[in-house]
């Protein structure tokens, strides 16, 4: 999560959608003001910016990094008026690709049985925020940007922070290694579970892709 009162800008980290790389790049712009906030990035050893994030509890730091806009608003990180007035963004990834990335991140050593348990609901109490629908990061005032245009959208946000952007965008988070193609585990039951759980994400992503295609045409 990056909140710049100086530049009237907010970025919310949607897990498994390039959020670590995005926040690192936004920090590299080096234009944040003294009262601005950037959450800790434990996976790459970066502490939070601003006294508010000087927290030693690892779980709290992880939760703060991936706070939804609604949670951050409730916690007092910004006001409703600021949410309305600032340029506020999150990155939306194609839902099935994000799901496969979540599987790699959380359960790679236990395939394929673990996926069957997820689909049947046996592990519902063990699924963390990585499994939440992306739509929870979108409330009035938040603009979703497509993961498909990752480099362009990161540099677009750099521009909002008064920086010209970067010619190359490296991937700062490659944890988890490679995962076999998801189709191996994609049963009709899995498809039904996926469509039901991520219905809003699928509809939103398809709508944004249609708009993108229309603009390109």
Question: Which residue is listed with tokens 């009035």?
Answer: 140
Q: Which of 122-126, 167-171, 211-215 has the lowest mean pLDDT?
A: 122-126
- According to the model, what pLDDT value does residue 124 have? 75
Query: Is the model more confident about 66 or about 184?
Result: 66
Is 1 in contact with 12 (CB distance < 8 Å)? yes
Digit-coded pLDDT (tens) for 30-60: 998 888 888 877 555 565 665 444 444 444 5
pLDDT at 150 over 80: yes
- According to the model, what pLDDT value does residue 129 have? 75
- According to the model, what pLDDT value does residue 46 have? 60
Domains and their CATH numbers in the chain: 2-216 (3.40.50)
Beta carbons within 8 Å of 113's beta carbon, 6+ residues apart: none
- According to the model, what pLDDT value does residue 131 have? 84
111 preceded by a cis bond (ω within 30 of 0): no
- According to the model, what pLDDT value does residue 178 have? 47
- According to the model, what pLDDT value does residue 42 have? 59
In sequence order, what are the beta bridge partners of 89? Answer: 11, 143
- According to the model, what pLDDT value does residue 136 have? 94
Confidence grade of residue 108 (pLDDT, cut at 50, 70, 90): low
Confidence grade of residue 153 (pLDDT, cut at 50, 70, 90): very high
User: 202-208: long-range contacts at Cβ-Cβ below 8 A with a sequence spacing of 24 or more?
Assistant: 202/95, 204/92, 204/134, 204/135, 204/138, 204/144, 205/92, 205/93, 205/94, 205/95, 205/146, 208/92, 208/144, 208/146
């Amino acid at each position: 999560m990056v909140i710049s009162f100086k530049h009237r800008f907010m970025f919310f980290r949607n897990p498994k959608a390039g959020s670590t790389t995005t926040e690192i790049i936004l920090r590299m712009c080096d234009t944040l003001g003294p009262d601005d906030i950037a959450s800790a990035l434990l996976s790459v050893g970066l502490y939070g910016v601003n006294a508010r994030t000087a927290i030693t509890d690892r779980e709290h730091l992880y939760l703060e990094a991936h706070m939804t806009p609604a949670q951050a608003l409730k916690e007092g990180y910004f006001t409703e008026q600021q949410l309305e007035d600032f340029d506020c963004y999150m990155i939306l990834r194609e839902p099935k690709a994000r799901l496969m990335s979540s599987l790699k991140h959380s359960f790679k050593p236990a395939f394929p049985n673990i996926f069957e348990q997820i689909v049947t609901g046996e592990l519902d109490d063990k699924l963390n925020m990585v499994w939440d629908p992306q739509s929870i990061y979108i409330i009035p005032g938040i603009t979703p940007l497509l993961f498909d245009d990752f480099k362009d959208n990161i540099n677009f946000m750099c521009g909002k922070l008064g920086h010209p952007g970067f010619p190359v965008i490296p991937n700062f988070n490659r944890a988890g290694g490679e995962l076999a193609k998801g189709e191996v585990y994609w049963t009709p039951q899995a498809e039904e579970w996926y469509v039901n759980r991520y219905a809003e994400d699928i509809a939103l992503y398809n709508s944004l892709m249609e708009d993108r295609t229309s603009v390109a045409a």
